[in-house]
């Protein structure tokens, strides 16, 4: 999985923006941002339709991620949801399929469905989203000997709670963290400390926020943008090398956690 990918939350919500959204995803693919994250929940499948159009004729160049809603995550429901997603995406497989968050269906039942989809070649790997450390421990027990390939959680400079235990545990376990809303839905853009660091690196505040995440081993950032220019800006965040002084300033402005906090979600 590339360390910097493309998110699609809020895509597919209006026909007028579809062409721009498709163009922004294609611009990212052209740059090498070949991980695209989507979900059946986003715009009730509309985002998957946008992704399907963007990857038409280029499926082999893309690492494709989608998600099943928790109320669909029974054994039969997971399989049906995956097949519906594949149809909207215009492909015969996704590379990674995630449980969007925990619901009423037993984890073992969902994992059984994931493993069946994997055996059929409809998914390459499976994982979860919005799982805290205790959830992950329970998942590993339920899934053994199978293991999740990733955990997608809310993580950015403003929301660093996972650094207390989940991030380090995941790194030790070799389970990548996919950071959604890496710019905190745009709230980090223009922050004065990020702007100050950005001036040193000739970078934007958004690029600095993304560069921070990319300093974390095992973390994948998936910013969403409907603008090709903004996608290109995000791509160049990977070229920034933050110094120890930069990181000190970021810790002052966005203090890391000193105690366990409930896992945040949007």
Q: Measure the CA dihedral 52/53/54/58, to 10°.
A: 70
Q: Residues 46, 51, 56, CA angle at the centre, nearest 5°?
A: 130
Look at residues 42, 24, 45 and name the one whose alpha carbon lies nearest to residue 230: 24
Six-digit token pair at 247? 């990181």
List the 177-180 sheet strands across, edge first: 35-37, 63-68, 94-99, 123-129, 151-154, 177-180, 219-221
Q: How far apart are CA 153 and CA 101, in angstroms?
A: 10
**β-pairing, 151-154 with 94-99?**
unpaired
The answer to whether the beta carbons of residues 153 and 162 sit under 8 Å apart is yes
CA distance 146 to 189: 40
Given a contact cutoff of 8 angstroms between Cβ atoms, the answer to whether 9 and 42 are in contact is: yes
155 is catalytic: no
For the chain, the C-alpha Rg in angstroms (whole number) is 18
Strands (E), 57-109: 63-68, 94-99
Q: Which is catalytic among the residues 42, 97, 155, 180? A: 42
In whole angstroms, give the CA distance from residue 227 to residue 89: 21
Q: Which residues are catalytic?
A: 42
């Amino acid at each position: 999985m590339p360390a910097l990918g493309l998110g699609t939350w809020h895509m597919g919500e209006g026909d007028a923006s579809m062409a721009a959204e498709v163009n922004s995803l294609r611009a990212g693919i052209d740059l090498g941002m070949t991980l695209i994250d989507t979900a059946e929940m986003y715009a009730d499948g509309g985002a998957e339709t946008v992704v399907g159009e963007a990857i038409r004729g280029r499926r082999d160049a893309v690492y494709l991620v989608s998600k099943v809603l928790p109320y669909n995550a029974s054994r039969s429901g997971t399989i049906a949801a995956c097949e519906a997603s594949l149809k909207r995406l215009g492909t015969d497989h996704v590379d990674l399929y995630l449980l969007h968050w925990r619901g009423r269906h037993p984890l073992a039942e969902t994992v059984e469905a994931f493993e069946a989809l994997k055996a059929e070649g409809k998914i390459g790997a499976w994982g979860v989203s919005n799982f805290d450390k205790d959830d992950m421990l329970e998942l590993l027990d339920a899934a053994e000997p199978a293991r999740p390939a990733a955990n997608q959680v809310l993580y950015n400079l403003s929301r660093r709670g996972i650094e207390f235990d989940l991030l380090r545990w995941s790194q030790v376990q070799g389970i990548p963290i996919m950071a959604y809303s890496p710019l905190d839905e745009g709230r980090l853009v223009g922050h004065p400390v990020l702007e100050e660091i950005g001036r040193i690196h000739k970078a934007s505040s958004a690029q600095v926020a993304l560069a921070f995440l990319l300093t974390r081993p095992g973390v994948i950032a998936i910013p969403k943008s409907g603008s090709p220019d903004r996608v290109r800006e995000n791509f160049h965040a990977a070229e920034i090398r933050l110094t120890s002084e930069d990181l000190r300033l970021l810790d002052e402005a966005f203090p890391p956690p000193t105690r366990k906090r409930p896992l945040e979600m949007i």
